[in-house]
A and B are shown apart, each in its own frame.
Chain A
């Protein structure tokens, strides 16, 4: 009976809630009853679930992501195929396409910055393999009985090499590097299925259990923890369960300000669709263009504006998960419960090891009346951190407040477009301004905090003043809206920039942690130093770029995000070198009181530290949940534990 509220009834129910505001209450209830009954009847009448699936399909696929992702997205890099950085014939950097603010623009200072920072040259190219070599993909080893039964359900699936390879990786450096190099794949999924709704997932999971097939849920594919990598030792047929077609908002409840959403929806679609009704979730992780709601739940995601809206665990009200043992969900939508440990917390961060998140009820907010960017320049990183700490102490953090270190500040300026109304001639202005008037600022020390305020206009302005006043006590000077906005744009294009770097012998990656306030500075300094030192010891010929920013503030600490990149010319195995350095950096983070992860998750990349992080007893507790929920390891991606 757990599956009785099929997607059909839910969906119809949802749309009636959202749109039929004029129809009378009794009419609405009657209609609803009819539909529920119809749903039941249909299900009982003939067990051909294909009908339901067809029903699902009829409304599906309004979203951005097609089944054939490779039609709009790069198969071996970040984001849309039409958007990429390149150095044109004049050696100037350009960003192609039309999707972004920077699209179609020339970035005159990027080349200098790039060449100077990495010791790289636009004449030294390291181009990627142009197309997927099908012979490098191991043949699909299919479980025929499973395929037969699956065909009967009518749920679409594929075992084409391109589809399988696309779902065999996330966006870790080693994964993208291998794709670009055209390396042979050790293990990729044997097939891909595209369920259209919750009940499709139920069927797939039932069949997987019946035929002992390994399922790996796939949402947006933006993992950076090797979470999507197929365990090479897995001998069963591996099925990638792509949730992208489960992308509808099923209903919006304006009374309680919640929306019920299929978990495959990606961030940009969710916001766009909610915006149409005047709402937003406010959950904006940097990956929101591509990452999915289910993925957020499965990794404990964090959004840039969490100060106003909360992180994913604060935003979800209800979660529905299909596991090998059945469906887990709560019986009500009470805002808080004292009913033993919160079962949501077994799901949040479970990284696809327990089941598939199919539907989520999530808090929504009216779209804020007014938004304002801002920025503050500090003489050095220490002053900036002290200011953020004070802001957190006074609990007056704007929707977003981020502190970029000097390296990132300079990086940001390298992305200044040639002609633009938004990007004013800030650098020159700033230089003149500070060098003449506030001489104390060393351009190689100063850092910038970027701010985003939201709310009604008056309150935003008030809030802004409060924050700028605090900043002033730490020597901070307001540095304009454009500068702030550019900081946020940087986070959306940074992943595209990595692909540019890889075209010219530069590898790059980011990683994050959370750390108590009193250790922020020590951790940042020690991790950067450790990276520099490890690079040197491991034969990296050029000074690496190590940069960090404080991206989130909490009462008791902060989230710190690191960028790390180096020119790998002269290295035999750059990926291995990179991995050793990242490993060392993580050890340094843990030794300095930082956490294993703030929001990226553990995946397989950081599994080795789980015991150290949560104690072996803690690992045992998680293991026993796994053993109960999924005794046959159907969800066999081997993340986390």
Chain B
């Protein structure tokens, strides 16, 4: 019963929330930053690139030559087993399969060369100094990492927002004389012939984007990674999110590689594995408008060397600062304590590949989410992020003075919610706001004391669709900044929405939203109650709500906070609603996944042009995909042989109904019984 749930939650509130926030709240312990470009601006890049580089390795192992590594992999029991298996299944001789494995490995393996690293150290020094004001690193994090590398195999898990990420990572590690990582990179880089090879020689290894059923490929790949990990030859680096986030929201983590690097611990092959979450925050992302266009359906330009060279004009712009925060290494051993019984691995030969057990799978999944949340926690937020959040709620523009005032207010709110805000010390607020606007002049402009989004000036006359498209680009670009702060506000914001819509069943509604949005945001599986409590705690803490006798009520001063939160999630609620409406009103029974995105897009375009919808974000393919995934997950839509079958009854939907109302109907209809409490 809903009330019981709320009661229960309130009962635990004081204890649980205190504990969880203590665990999570990193505010008090965050390290300070050092700008590594400062020294580069004052001393020779050449000397820097050629200096003595002698990193300390895991338990003092000697580095392994690339060829030796390949031999170890090819001769491993694990790979030999799969080769024989594939040989028996296919009827091909083992030698031939072995050769195939060798070719795969050749295509995959890194060829780290110190000379290439030095070249990059030189070239990147030049580039970074041109592009960025500062590249800031928390040196205490570096020290922790250095310690960790000597004690245990280390896996570096940076956030992924830009192509820059992995070059930047290697650059920083080189700067601090740390062991260079080997980096899992997507095969698409190999399309850029010269660059691909350069990356390979700086430590990248390449994996195909999809190799679903290819046993041999999987075996070569996983053994390659595990061999490096087990022997501690080098830290392994990969992106948990799998791909660059085009929205600046963290993406739902992918588990494949994480499974591979954790398994040696479960099998007792290593004492522990340390996972190091790394948060790379860009004040301005190089790919900013590129991403917006991509989300709107202009396909991603194929990676090509010439494309990269054209990007040279990028070099003339100011991209502000980068903050790289090396988080506390997370010990897999400590995480798994009491969750996974390692002795279940005792009864099966360790070299025979096996699907991870359920217990392990859910542990890995849980770990992945925790790491991404740790990445989020240490993302550095700039004042502009707060300003973008406000501007998006005032698309018609707002007075500069109002924006400034509200930004200051929002800053207070963000700080009390433990946001990692990089607000310049001792600078007057007006100065902070104006310099943010200056840096992002491509996105927002001030005219006549009003601040509004910049809409790209079209050449010549445009159709209404083109105008809409241009506006959508600037909205989505701006949204990519707002998105950076969502993880701070998400939980209280969902509570605010729940309070607005279903004031007497707040927990149920929160829980529904939580579930609904768990493709769009990082919500750790099973954490609904905990998140609800955190939301209550935060809203109470800032005085926006009170909780007398198991009730949640808004306070007199809570109005601005709650309405800001409602506005913050409004685009998502509207977006999901549009998708639902499309599925009810327009979609034919035989809709395929391929058709879905363009179809929703044109449905939304029609609504916007007709003046019935003001939300541009629904045009984002990211939101469309997430909404569909959520509906599939919640069994409101079903996939039958690649075609969608909607369960949403047309009669239940009318434009005036909010998404939450739709949800209620869905629940009542019994289609998603698990959401009824």
Contacts and interface: CB of A to CB of B under 8 A. Distances in A.
Given A523-B268, A530-B271, A592 B350 contact: no
B346 interface: yes
B331 to A, nearest CB: 10
Given A590-B343, A593-B343, A612-B343, A526 B350 contact: no
A591 B349 CA distance: 14
A522 B349 CA distance: 14
Contacts of A115: none
Interface string A590-605: 1111000000000000
A529 interface: yes
Contacts of A612: 343
A314 B271 CA distance: 37
B450 interface: no
A593 B346 contact: yes
A526 to B, nearest CB: 5
A526 B343 contact: no
Interface size class on chain A is 10 to 19
B342 interface: yes
A518 B271 CA distance: 16
Interface in A567-609: 590-593
Interface string A484-505: 0000000000000000000000
Interface in B258-274: 267-269, 271
A438 B269 CA distance: 31
Interface in A314-372: none
Interface in A48-96: none
Interface hub of B268, B346, B349 (most chain A Cβ within 10 A): B268
A518 to B, nearest CB: 7
A591 B350 contact: no
Contacts of B268: 519, 522-523, 526, 591-593
A591 B342 contact: yes
A525 B230 CA distance: 13
B522 to A, nearest CB: 31
Interface string A526-543: 100110000000000000
Contacts of A591: 268, 341-343
Interface size class on chain B is 10 to 19
Contacts of B194: none
A526 B346 contact: no
Contact of A593 (B271, B341, B345): B345
Interface in B336-378: 341-343, 345-346, 349-350
Interface in A178-204: none
B343 A529 contact: no
A200 to B, nearest CB: 45
B346 A529 contact: no
Contacts of A526: 268, 271
A526 B350 CA distance: 16
A624 to B, nearest CB: 25
Nearest to A519: B268
B350 A518 contact: yes
Contacts, number: 25
A440 B350 CA distance: 32
Contacts of A519: 268, 350
Interface in B135-156: none
A512 B189 CA distance: 52
Contacts of A525: 271
B595 to A, nearest CB: 51
A518 B352 CA distance: 13
A445 to B, nearest CB: 11
Interface hub of B267, B271, B341, B349 (most chain A Cβ within 10 A): B271
B271 A529 contact: yes
A428 to B, nearest CB: 28
A592 B207 CA distance: 31
Contacts of B269: 522
Contacts of A529: 271
B459 to A, nearest CB: 66
Interface string B261-305: 000000111010000000000000000000000000000000000
Nearest to A516: B346
A53 B269 CA distance: 60
A612 B268 CA distance: 18
A518 B351 CA distance: 10
A462 B350 CA distance: 37
A13 B343 CA distance: 53
Contacts of A530: 271
A612 B349 CA distance: 20
A157 to B, nearest CB: 46
A526 B264 CA distance: 12
Contacts of B345: 593
A640 to B, nearest CB: 20
A55 B444 CA distance: 111
Nearest to A523: B268
A334 to B, nearest CB: 34
Contacts of B346: 593
A612 B341 CA distance: 11
Nearest to B346: A593
Nearest to A526: B271
A518 B345 CA distance: 13
B294 to A, nearest CB: 46
B575 to A, nearest CB: 47
Contacts of B342: 591-592
Contacts of B267: 522
Interface string A142-161: 00000000000000000000
Nearest to A590: B343
B496 to A, nearest CB: 43
A519 B264 CA distance: 12
A523 B342 CA distance: 12
A248 B350 CA distance: 50
A525 B271 CA distance: 8
Nearest to A533: B271
Nearest to B271: A529
Nearest to A528: B271
Contacts of A593: 268, 343, 345-346
A525 to B, nearest CB: 7
A70 B670 CA distance: 80
A189 B271 CA distance: 44
Interface in A215-273: none
B81 to A, nearest CB: 13
B299 to A, nearest CB: 48
Interface in B221-271: 267-269, 271
A498 to B, nearest CB: 27
Contacts of B350: 518-519
A530 B331 CA distance: 14
A593 B344 CA distance: 9
A530 B333 CA distance: 11
Nearest to B351: A518
Contacts of B343: 590-591, 593, 612
B343 to A, nearest CB: 5
A590 B341 CA distance: 10
A377 B354 CA distance: 38
A546 to B, nearest CB: 13
A581 to B, nearest CB: 16
A153 to B, nearest CB: 50
Interface of B: 267-269, 271, 341-343, 345-346, 349-350
13 contacts: A518-B350, A519-B268, A519-B350, A522-B267, A522-B268, A523-B268, A525-B271, A526-B268, A529-B271, A590-B343, A591-B268, A591-B342, A592-B268
Interface of A: 518-519, 522-523, 525-526, 529-530, 590-593, 612
- Top 10 nearest A-B pairs (CB, nearest first) are A591-B342, A592-B268, A593-B346, A522-B268, A529-B271, A526-B271, A591-B343, A590-B343, A522-B269, A526-B268
Given A526-B271, A593-B268, 20 more contacts: A518-B349, A518-B350, A519-B350, A522-B267, A522-B268, A522-B269, A523-B268, A525-B271, A526-B268, A530-B271, A591-B268, A591-B341, A591-B342, A591-B343, A592-B268, A592-B342, A593-B343, A593-B345, A593-B346, A612-B343
